[in-house]
Amino acid sequence: MITKLPVRSSVSFFLSLSAAFLLTTSAGPVAQGEPGYPISPVQFTSVKVNDSFWGQRLKASREVTIPLAFSKCEETGRYENFVKAAHPSDDYKVGGYSFDDTDVYKTIEGASYVLQTYPDKKLEAYIDSVLAIVAKAQEPDGYLYTARTMNPKHPHEWAGEHRWEQVEELSHEFYNLGHMVEGAVAHYRATGRRNFLDLAIRYADCVCREIGEGEGQVVRVPGHQIAEMALCKLYLVTGDRKYLDQAKFFLDHRGKTGHRDAYNQSHLPILEQDEAVGHAVRAAYMYSGIADVAALTGDQAYIDAIDRIWENIVGKKLYITGGIGATNRGEAFGANYELPNLTAYCETCAAIGNVYINHRMFLLHGDSKYYDVLERTLYNGLLSGVSLQGDGFFYPNPLESDGRHKRQPWFGCACCPSNICRFIPSVPGYVYALKDDELFVNLYMSNTMTQKVKGKEVVLRQETDYPWNGDVDLFIDKNAAKNFTLKLRIPGWVRGEAVPSDLYSYADGKTLGYKVMVNGQEVNAELDKGYFSINRNWKKGDKVSLHLDMEQRIVRANEKVEADHGRIAVERGPVVYCAEWPDNGFSVRSLMMVKDPGLAVSTGDVLGHRVEKISSIAQSLSYDKLGRLVVKDVRLTMIPYYAWCHRGSGEMMVWLPQKVQAVIPSLSKK
């Protein structure tokens, strides 16, 4: 029995583990099977990104965020928990959070995505050494939950006395399973090794055996969702239907057990739900699971349910940054049109969840509107959650600051940093999709894709300076598929649609356009669900040039959004802008935009990272010593929202007053 764990302060401890303790790959491939979505994503393993914008973020993730996360897993005892679980003792005091295991799984997931693009034997060996420790903590029947196993007589205070007893409350046993499966599938796809996947399958099989309506089983649903979408992913990678059935079981029984609470979306059966409520991260993960089951089964009732919920989010509860979750009361969605700015919660994990929802909705319906929301979230509400250097994080992402917000190097509840750790390296998997002979180009970034179309290899290369300009060149470097259809997404911001609802709209009267050329000749086509389709017998060397007009735009919110009355926001392409204190010699919370602000763009930088800045005419309002209002003409400078709070804490605003009534609350606090 281990009474004192010899955990060193350096991650080199794990790299020094004997190879004898490392798991070897299991014999036999995982069945890829035929089941899938109506539209299939082109996996991250097929896309190599060499983009200046995303390349910086992938580099920061690889060199800073992931090593930091691994070091935090060691420093904060995450690994130690697994070692203790392998040698349980009544002497262990179980502290921390009941979901601390997931930080290990999420970090391995992010590192696995990185390995695909940047092979690294040292990193792969480190992951294997960690997995060796994880494997020893797994109980003989597959159960793996260190918060109970390290001290079964006195488990974590949220765990309950017996398995699954508190899983609908705070034990997070199914949540741990979900992140374990997500990480294991990514690791398997990136490395071809089954050492993590087999651990996840054993835990998933344990859950499938013990949860259900059969003899000896108990009916439980996740208190914190994610197992639903993870089990769907496990179904896709193994072809084993029982995992999809288990995901559907969890969803079918939600709102029908003894635990019913809007906080975790168990207030009603899911087929009766039509509004996004409760904890935004839990909700986003559950809605993603509903979309998974809808797409993979074709169940019309599920399709109708997720369509209703999506319409509610995008029409009434979505921030202009793509963030979701208006209030810190339960980290939750607010009422319809309740979208405060200064107190906006917009948890980073919720933005990641919003990407998951919209990606799955696209795979289900094939409409570009879902990618319009995904892209908005990706470039704004999600990217803001991690610093440009990759070592500072936001938990909430407000749209206004009075100077009290600052990035943190880590959190005790580390869900957001570790979630960023796994998400950023996964971005290559969101660029393309495939349906029969139709190849969808959904995101624009420089990369090379190698993918089979109609069973034949196609190599497509993108070159672009997006999101800073709207010119994209695509080259056919290889085509054994001959005839196929290339479908280019024409973003909503080009088509005059800020979001696919009336929640936000452009207010500058501009009309943007686009042009598509093949080998120098302009081609025309009617858009279908936001896609420009080109069908031809492609040859090596063919070049497609896409031009998207990219101009500064003024946006207004629906009048029902009280927080944005008398205010405007500024965008350019997919990027939302904000006014921040370091660029302006006056209080940005006491400014007023003029009717025609004359928006102008110029290239600048934030901490050495290139950004396109926008300047405009504005007025600064203040009081003199006698209490008289003083108005001063100023030049306002705005930067991309994702880049704020890198130069110290201070004032920031996304929604800028254009009417004096909107400035008064700020002035009254001076």
**In this structure, which amino acid lies at residue 320?**
I
State both tokens at 231: 């089990």
List Cα–Cα distances, 497 to 33, 492, 555, in angstroms.
39, 5, 10
pLDDT of 311 reads 98
Strand 629-640 relative to strand 609-623, pairing: antiparallel
List Cα–Cα distances, 344 to 99, 230, 381, 397, 477, in angstroms.
25, 29, 11, 7, 46
Q: What is the rounded end-to-end Cα distance, in angstroms, of the chain?
A: 62
Q: What backbone torsions phi and psi does residue 266 show, to the nearest 5 degrees?
A: -110, 15
State both tokens at 211: 């949860």
pLDDT of 669 reads 57
Q: What is the mean pLDDT of the chain?
A: 93
Q: Reduce the DSSP state of residue 141 to 3 states and report it.
A: coil
pTM value? 0.94
**Tens digit of pLDDT for each residue in 122-135?**
999 999 999 999 99
Give Rg (Cα) of the chain: 25
Burial class (CB in 10 A: 0-12, 13-18, 19+), 261: middle
Q: Residue 605 gets which letter from DSSP?
A: E
State both tokens at 350: 């919720």
* Neighbour count for residue 480 (Cβ, 10 Å): 13
All residues at 6 or more sequence positions from 433 whose CB lies less than 8 Å from its CB, including other chains:
39, 40, 41, 42, 362, 363, 439, 440, 442
Distance CA(73)–CA(421), nearest Å, equals: 12
CB 80 within 8 A of CB 87: no
Per-residue HEC secondary structure of 167-235 comes to CCCCCCHHHHHHHHHHHHHHHHHHHCCCHHHHHHHHHHHHHHHHECCCCCCECCCCCCCCHHHHHHHHH
List the chain residues with pLDDT less than 50.
Answer: 1-34
